[in-house]
A and B are shown apart, each in its own frame.
Chain A
Amino acid sequence: MALEAGVRSAFARAIGAENVIDDPVRCRSYECDGLTGYRVVPELVLLPRDAEAVAAAVRMCAQHKVPFVARGAGTGLSGGALPVADGVVISLSRLKRVLEVDPVNRRAVLEPGVTNLEITAAAAPHGLYYAPDPSSQQVCTIGGNVAENSGGAHCLKYGFTTNHVLSMEVVLPDGSVVTLGGDTAEQAGPDLRGVFLGSEGTLGITTKITVRLLRTPETVRTLLADFPSVSAAGDVVSDIVAAGIVPAAVEMMDTLAIEAAEEAVHAGYTVGVPAALVVELDGPVEECDVQFEQVKAICDKHGCTRLHIAGGPQERAAIWRGRKAAFAAVGRISPDYFVQDGVVPRTRLAEVLDRIARMGRDAGLRVANVFHAGDGNLHPLVLYSAAAGETERAEKLSGEIAELCVELGGSLSGEHGIGTDKACSMPKMFGEDDLAVMHRVRGAFDPDGLCNPGKVLPTPRLCGERPGRYRPHPLEESGVIERL
Chain B
Amino acid sequence: MTTPAGSPETKLPQNGPSAFDAHHPPQRDLLDDCVHCGFCLPTCPTYQLWGEEMDSPRGRIYLMDLAAKGEISLEGPFTEHIDRCLGCMACVTACPSGVQYDKLLESVRPQIERNVPREKSDKLFRDAIFALFPYKRRLRAAAVPGALYQKVRATRLGRRVLPRILDKLPARLAATESLLPPVQLKEAFARLPVYTPAVGERRARVALLSGCVQDVFFHRVNEATVRVLAAEGCDVVVPRDQQCCGALELHAGRESGALARARRTIARFESLDVDTIVTNVAGCGSSMKDYAHLLADDPEWAERAAAFSARVRDVHEVLADLEPRAPRHPIRGRVAYHDACHLGHAQKVRAQPRAVLRSIPDLELLDLPEAELCCGSAGIYNMVAPEAAADLGARKAANVRSVDPDIIVTANPGCLLQIGKHLTGSETDPERAPVPLLHPVQLLDASIRGTVVPRT
Answer yes or no: A and B touching, Cβ < 8 Å: yes
Contact A336 B10 (CB under 8 A): yes
Report chain B residues within 8 Å CB of A302. none
B33 at the interface (CB under 8 A from A): yes
**CB interface residues, B 56-75, toward A, < 8 Å:** 59, 62-63, 66, 71-72
Report chain B residues within 8 Å CB of A94. 50-51
Contact B42 A39 (CB under 8 A): no
Contact B51 A91 (CB under 8 A): yes
Which candidate, A30-38, A148-156, A249-257, is the interface stretch facing chain B? A30-38
Report chain B residues within 8 Å CB of A391. 8-10
Report chain A residues within 8 Å CB of B52. 21, 26, 29, 47, 91, 93
Report chain A residues within 8 Å CB of B54. 21, 26, 29
Interface residues on chain A, size class: 35 or more
Contact B53 A136 (CB under 8 A): no
Contact A37 B10 (CB under 8 A): yes
**Once the chains are docked, how many angstroms separate the CA of A328 from the CA of B96?**
6
The answer, among A30, A96, A136, for a CB contact under 8 Å with B39, is A136
Contact A328 B35 (CB under 8 A): yes
Contact A96 B38 (CB under 8 A): no
Q: Quick one: closest A residue to B80, CB to CB?
A: A26
B92 to chain A, nearest CB (A): 13
Report chain B residues within 8 Å CB of A15. none
Q: Quick one: closest A residue to B97, CB to CB?
A: A331
A82 at the interface (CB under 8 A from B): yes
Residue among B3, B76, B81 facing the most chain A CB atoms (10 A cut-off):
B3
A126 at the interface (CB under 8 A from B): no
Q: Quick one: closest A residue to B43, CB to CB?
A: A138
B133 to chain A, nearest CB (A): 32
Report chain B residues within 8 Å CB of A462. 5-6
The answer, among A25, A34, A38, A392, for a CB contact under 8 Å with B38, is A34
A462 to chain B, nearest CB (A): 7
Chain B 24-50 against A: per-residue CB contact (8 Å), 1 yes, 0 no? 000001001101111101100001001
**Once the chains are docked, how many angstroms separate the CA of A265 from the CA of B97?**
10
Q: A39-B2, A47-B52, A139-B42 are in contact. Are A32 and B36 (CB under 8 A)?
A: yes
**Once the chains are docked, how many angstroms separate the CA of A47 from the CA of B53?**
11
Q: Quick one: closest B residue to A96, CB to CB?
A: B51
Chain A 100-137 against B: per-residue CB contact (8 Å), 1 yes, 0 no? 00000000000001010100000000000000000010
B395 to chain A, nearest CB (A): 13
**CB interface residues, A 291-339, toward B, < 8 Å:** 325, 327-329, 331-332, 335-338
Report chain A residues within 8 Å CB of B39. 136, 138-139, 328
**Once the chains are docked, how many angstroms separate the CA of A393 from the CA of B29?**
22
B271 at the interface (CB under 8 A from A): no
B454 at the interface (CB under 8 A from A): no
Report chain B residues within 8 Å CB of A392. 8
Contact B10 A29 (CB under 8 A): no
**Once the chains are docked, how many angstroms separate the CA of A454 from the CA of B37?**
23
Report chain A residues within 8 Å CB of B10. 36-37, 336, 338, 386, 391
**Once the chains are docked, how many angstroms separate the CA of A332 from the CA of B33?**
8
Residue among A26, A117, A325, A386 facing the most chain B CB atoms (10 A cut-off):
A26
B7 at the interface (CB under 8 A from A): yes
B6 to chain A, nearest CB (A): 7
The answer, among B8, B32, B95, for a CB contact under 8 Å with A37, is B8
Chain B 278-291 against A: per-residue CB contact (8 Å), 1 yes, 0 no? 00000000000000
The answer, among B38, B77, B95, for a CB contact under 8 Å with A74, is B38
**Once the chains are docked, how many angstroms separate the CA of A113 from the CA of B11?**
27
**CB interface residues, A 16-74, toward B, < 8 Å:** 21, 23, 25-26, 28-34, 36-41, 45, 47, 73-74
B78 at the interface (CB under 8 A from A): yes
**Once the chains are docked, how many angstroms separate the CA of A13 from the CA of B231?**
66
Contact B37 A47 (CB under 8 A): no
Chain A 68-93 against B: per-residue CB contact (8 Å), 1 yes, 0 no? 00000111000100100000000101
Report chain B residues within 8 Å CB of A117. 42
**CB interface residues, B 78-96, toward A, < 8 Å:** 78, 81, 94-96
Report chain A residues within 8 Å CB of B8. 37, 391-392, 394-395
B417 to chain A, nearest CB (A): 29
Contact A30 B53 (CB under 8 A): yes
A420 at the interface (CB under 8 A from B): yes
Q: Quick one: closest B residue to A118, CB to CB?
A: B42
Q: Quick one: closest B residue to A94, CB to CB?
A: B51
B157 to chain A, nearest CB (A): 34
Q: A115-B42, A139-B41 are in contact. Are A335 and B5 (CB under 8 A)?
A: no
A34 to chain B, nearest CB (A): 6
B450 at the interface (CB under 8 A from A): no
Contact B98 A40 (CB under 8 A): no
Q: A39-B2, A328-B39, A336-B10 are in contact. Are A28 and B62 (CB under 8 A)?
A: yes
Report chain A residues within 8 Å CB of B41. 73, 139
Report chain B residues within 8 Å CB of A40. 2, 5
B98 to chain A, nearest CB (A): 5
**Once the chains are docked, how many angstroms separate the CA of A291 from the CA of B294?**
56
Residue among B51, B71, B98 facing the most chain A CB atoms (10 A cut-off):
B51
Report chain B residues within 8 Å CB of A394. 8
**Once the chains are docked, how many angstroms separate the CA of A325 from the CA of B35?**
12
The answer, among B5, B9, B33, B66, for a CB contact under 8 Å with A386, is B9
Q: Quick one: closest B residue to A265, CB to CB?
A: B96
Report chain B residues within 8 Å CB of A264. 96-98
**Once the chains are docked, how many angstroms separate the CA of A30 from the CA of B63?**
11
Q: Quick one: closest A residue to B32, CB to CB?
A: A335
Contact B51 A82 (CB under 8 A): no
Contact A386 B11 (CB under 8 A): yes
Contact A25 B97 (CB under 8 A): no
Q: A36-B10, A329-B96, A386-B10 are in contact. Are A138 and B42 (CB under 8 A)?
A: yes
**Once the chains are docked, how many angstroms separate the CA of A8 from the CA of B7?**
29
Contact A82 B38 (CB under 8 A): no
17 more contacts with CB within 8 A, not counting A25-B72, A73-B38, are A25-B77, A26-B54, A28-B72, A33-B36, A40-B2, A73-B41, A74-B38, A74-B53, A91-B53, A113-B51, A136-B38, A139-B39, A264-B98, A328-B37, A386-B9, A386-B10, A420-B5
18 residue pairs bridging A and B, Cβ less than 8 Å apart: A25-B76, A28-B62, A28-B72, A29-B53, A32-B36, A34-B36, A36-B35, A37-B9, A38-B5, A41-B2, A74-B36, A93-B52, A96-B51, A138-B42, A139-B37, A325-B96, A332-B98, A391-B9
List residues of chain B with CB under 8 Å of any chain A CB.
Answer: 2-3, 5-12, 29, 32-33, 35-39, 41-42, 47, 50-54, 59, 62-63, 66, 71-72, 76-78, 81, 94-98
List residues of chain A with CB under 8 Å of any chain B CB.
Answer: 21, 23, 25-26, 28-34, 36-41, 45, 47, 73-75, 79, 82, 91, 93-94, 96, 113, 115, 117, 136, 138-140, 264-265, 325, 327-329, 331-332, 335-338, 386, 391-392, 394-395, 420, 454, 462
Listed from nearest, the 4 A-B pairs whose CB atoms lie closest are: A93-B51, A328-B96, A331-B97, A325-B96
